[in-house]
Structure 1
Amino acid sequence: MRRKLAAGNWKMNGTGAALEELDELSRMIGTTALQVVICPPAPLLYRACEAAQDSIIAIGGQDCHSAAAGAHTGDISAAMIADTGAQYVILGHSERRADHHESDADIHAKVKAAWAAELTAILCIGETAEQQQSGTTLEILATQLAGSLPDAVSATNTVIAYEPVWAIGTGKVPSLEQIAETHDFIRDTLITRFGETTGNAVPLLYGGSVKPDNAETIFRAENVDGALVGGASLKASDFAPIIAALDRA
């Protein structure tokens, strides 16, 4: 049985006052077997870990450098993230790939750095609108998985998040058939590369305009084990219904 996971990516949103949402979220979701992760901006990591210490919520970073230390002004290492008490880190998000020109090789190195710091990597993959319209979605996903994902994958050190770039923050959501097709393809690709046991154990998340009113439908797909949620994770009142939908799935 794969673990179900609901992860919230706050992106560049929130100050200290936003951490009150963690208490509210914990209160709203109560007891659950799900793994719930919140990834706030880096300046909030330590305080978020303190705020979530006695709850079921785990904390994660939004990116890390591939180096353990060095002259990299403005960057944060995986060890620094782990030192705050965080357990996860998002890597390869489309906004990092596009805005910071991160290549698959860059992300590959970051995933290895995350593992070395004993963080679980939430590896993001996904196609642009142009790639989707040209019918190359599965080819793009295969290339990103091959280039971004190192060999030492396990069910505890890696989560894969499929986020169609054209759906992030746009309100557009693929059909259930499209979501199922991409997640089935990712699962088959993992099994082919890592074998049945590992390939079937790695959690797969869907991300891209996930909202309380569409989560139930999205979670019907067999190989969707959870969601990576952006804007709807900023408020407990929006994120809690998504978590509840996953709990019922």
Structure 2
Amino acid sequence: MAVVSTSLASQLSGPKSATSHCPQFSGLRRSCSKLDHSLSLSSTQSLIQNVDSHLRLSSSRRGCRGVVTMAGTGKFFVGGNWKCNGTKDSISKLISDLNSAKLEADVDVVVAPPFVYIDQVKNSLSDRIEIAAQNSWIGKGGAFTGEISVEQLKDIGCKWVVLGHSERRHVIGEDDEFIGKKAGYALSQNLGVIACIGELLKEREEGKTFDVCFQQMKAFADAVPSWDNVVIAYEPVWAIGTGKVATPQQAQEVHIAVREWLKKNVSAEVASKTRIIYGGSVNGSNCAELAKQEDIDGFLVGGASLKGPEFATIVNSVTSKKVAA
């Protein structure tokens, strides 16, 4: 999917100033009023490279990519995380709905069932939709009661695994380093990783959104052997399962900041090609507006992924994306 960005310089010189967006981004920037509208491109880049909780990016400063093909596939990415939900009967109905749904062709679609139903889903779901696991162990299997190995996941047909989800971080207690090691091992065994990052409400209110996301990104970057099979999912924890959704501008602001972090700390190529998707109470009503944002390359969907027709609507929101040939 080719995406045409507006240059950073032209955005800064445009009619919408960084300061004018302050009310929409409460908690992300404490001192946006100090931004100088006459900043040069070089000084702006310097600011981006030194982002901290006292100076935050504005979503009006878009455009690090130019014309790119996302992740080498040219495709939007939509994942459905079923979490700890479903029975054999309800999942059979969901599979039937998904199999009969008309899905846009230029979207990678993945669902993550509970472990005990992966085989059922794999054997009855259309090949159009790939299977992900919701977790994996840090290394090769063995005497690790209750864990699932990457090798086992691949053996039953999984192509992806969701790692770093907020519920694993904040309910189960997994830390950044542990999650990074899981990701590194999964990728070393050619299992794709949906790498989740995101801040708590308290962290957003304290202006630490970028600090938290960058710290979580660093843990992934320190461990992964390659970014070729990684999709980053930005999921503000305060928006997961709460019905609260980041505004399209709020989501875009974090997505562009994460892309800039990749550019500085990994490479410009990885920053350009890595898909960054949004999660957090995404549904059939809000997906189109979110999809229009330049750096939102898809979605990781929770509750709405349990409803076949609504999940199809979210997949098909790719049509809202501004695309240039």
Q: Report the Cα offset of residue 30 of structure 1.
A: 4.0
Give the aligned partner of residue 292 of structure 2. Answer: 220
In the alignment, the residues of structure 1 paired with residue 220 and residue 172 of structure 2 have an alpha-carbon distance, to the nearest angstrom, of 16
Residues 151 and 68 of structure 1: CA distance in aligned 2, closer, same or farther (over 3 Å)? closer
**What amino acid is aligned across from residue 183 of structure 2 in structure 1?**
V
In the alignment, the residues of structure 1 paired with residue 269 and residue 319 of structure 2 have an alpha-carbon distance, to the nearest angstrom, of 24
Q: Determine if contact 1:32/1:247 at 8 Å carries over to the other structure.
A: no
Q: Determine if contact 1:129/1:166 at 8 Å carries over to the other structure.
A: yes
Q: Report the Cα offset of residue 232 of structure 1.
A: 0.2
**What amino acid is aligned across from residue 69 of structure 1 in structure 2?**
G
Q: Determine if contact 2:276/2:296 at 8 Å carries over to the other structure.
A: yes
Q: Determine if contact 2:187/2:224 at 8 Å carries over to the other structure.
A: no
Q: Determine if contact 1:8/1:233 at 8 Å carries over to the other structure.
A: yes
Give the aligned partner of residue 153 of structure 1. Answer: 226
Q: Report the Cα offset of residue 93 of structure 1.
A: 0.3
Give the aligned partner of residue 189 of structure 1. Answer: 261
In the alignment, the residues of structure 2 paired with residue 108 and residue 154 of structure 1 have an alpha-carbon distance, to the nearest angstrom, of 13
What is the TM-score when the length of structure 1 is the normalising length? 0.95
In the alignment, the residues of structure 2 paired with residue 214 and residue 84 of structure 1 have an alpha-carbon distance, to the nearest angstrom, of 34
- Percentage of matched positions with identical amino acids: 35
- Once the two structures are overlaid, the 10-residue window that deviates more, 19-28 or 221-230, is 19-28
Q: Match of 2:80, SS?
A: strand
Give the aligned partner of residue 113 of structure 2. Answer: 40
Give the aligned partner of residue 105 of structure 1. Answer: 177
RMSD value, Cα? 1.3
Equivalent position to 1:141, from 209, 213, 217: 213
Equivalent position to 1:56, from 114, 118, 128: 128
In the alignment, the residues of structure 1 paired with residue 96 and residue 169 of structure 2 have an alpha-carbon distance, to the nearest angstrom, of 32
In the alignment, the residues of structure 2 paired with residue 217 and residue 114 of structure 1 have an alpha-carbon distance, to the nearest angstrom, of 33
Equivalent position to 1:23, from 86, 90, 96: 96
Residues 77 and 247 of structure 1: CA distance in aligned 2, closer, same or farther (over 3 Å)? farther
How many residue pairs match? The answer is 247
Q: Report the Cα offset of residue 154 of structure 1.
A: 2.3
In the alignment, the residues of structure 2 paired with residue 159 and residue 43 of structure 1 have an alpha-carbon distance, to the nearest angstrom, of 24
Structure 2 unmatched runs, 5+: 1-68
Q: Determine if contact 1:34/1:247 at 8 Å carries over to the other structure.
A: no
In the alignment, the residues of structure 1 paired with residue 83 and residue 246 of structure 2 have an alpha-carbon distance, to the nearest angstrom, of 22
Equivalent position to 2:201, from 129, 132, 146: 129
In the alignment, the residues of structure 2 paired with residue 121 and residue 38 of structure 1 have an alpha-carbon distance, to the nearest angstrom, of 13
**What amino acid is aligned across from residue 159 of structure 1 in structure 2?**
V
Following superposition of structure 1 onto structure 2, how do residues 199-210 of structure 1 map, counting pairs within 5 Å? Answer: 199-210=271-282
Residues 27 and 143 of structure 1: CA distance in aligned 2, closer, same or farther (over 3 Å)? same
In the alignment, the residues of structure 1 paired with residue 164 and residue 152 of structure 2 have an alpha-carbon distance, to the nearest angstrom, of 19
Q: Report the Cα offset of residue 113 of structure 1.
A: 1.7
Q: Deviations over 1:112-163 (max 9, x none)?
A: 12112211000000000000111110111111100233242323x1000000
Q: Match of 1:90, SS?
A: strand
**What amino acid is aligned across from residue 152 of structure 1 in structure 2?**
P
Q: Determine if contact 1:153/1:198 at 8 Å carries over to the other structure.
A: no
Equivalent position to 1:164, from 217, 236, 239: 236
Q: Determine if contact 1:183/1:223 at 8 Å carries over to the other structure.
A: yes
Residues 19 and 163 of structure 1: CA distance in aligned 2, closer, same or farther (over 3 Å)? same
Moved over 4 A (4+): none
Q: Match of 1:29, SS?
A: coil
Q: Report the Cα offset of residue 20 of structure 1.
A: 3.4
Give the aligned partner of residue 140 of structure 2. Answer: 68
Q: Determine if contact 2:162/2:195 at 8 Å carries over to the other structure.
A: yes
Structure number, greater radius of gyration = 2
